[in-house]
Amino acid sequence: MYCKNCGTQMADEAVVCVNCGVAKGAGVAYCHNCGKELAPGAAVCLACGVAAAPQARKSDKNKLVAALLAFFLGGLGIHNFYLGYKGKAIAQLLLSLIGWIIVIGPLVAGIWALIDFVMILVDKIPDSDGKPLS
């Protein structure tokens, strides 16, 4: 298997390309089968004849909605519920609610939400399916 972003050979069990750091399956510049460069918009690889992977579809989740949820209700993990990250959302919610006992819990959850807010704005957090936010 080859990285579709840079064309470097990848192990089948790899999650990201060790050369460029892009997630497995992301990118459309190189053939995932032979690693040769693809012509822009090509439907098949001219070198090996394998169908080129389709462009990644955008998520049905809205970036603005996710950012606003992170900013106003992020300490409760509401933005993570919206994006489909149930585990992170529950952890943030519990940290906020149960954290009152140790006092610092809500502060930590708030800082976590602020970091998520910024990362959503700079397109570093996709939805739970890995699709970029629309």
Domain residue spans in the chain? 1-56, 63-121
Give residue-wise pLDDT tens across range 25-78. Answer: 777 777 878 888 887 777 788 888 888 766 557 889 999 999 999 999 999 999
pLDDT at 67: 96
Output the six-digit token pair for 1. 């298997």
pLDDT in tens, 92-121: 999 988 887 777 888 888 899 999 999 999
Angstrom CA distances, 49 to 76, 89, 116, stand at: 50, 44, 42
Alpha helices by DSSP H, listed for 8-62, are: none
For residue 120 the two structure tokens come to 């959503």
Residue 69, both tokens = 């949820």
Q: Please tell me the predicted confidence (pLDDT) of residue 116.
A: 96
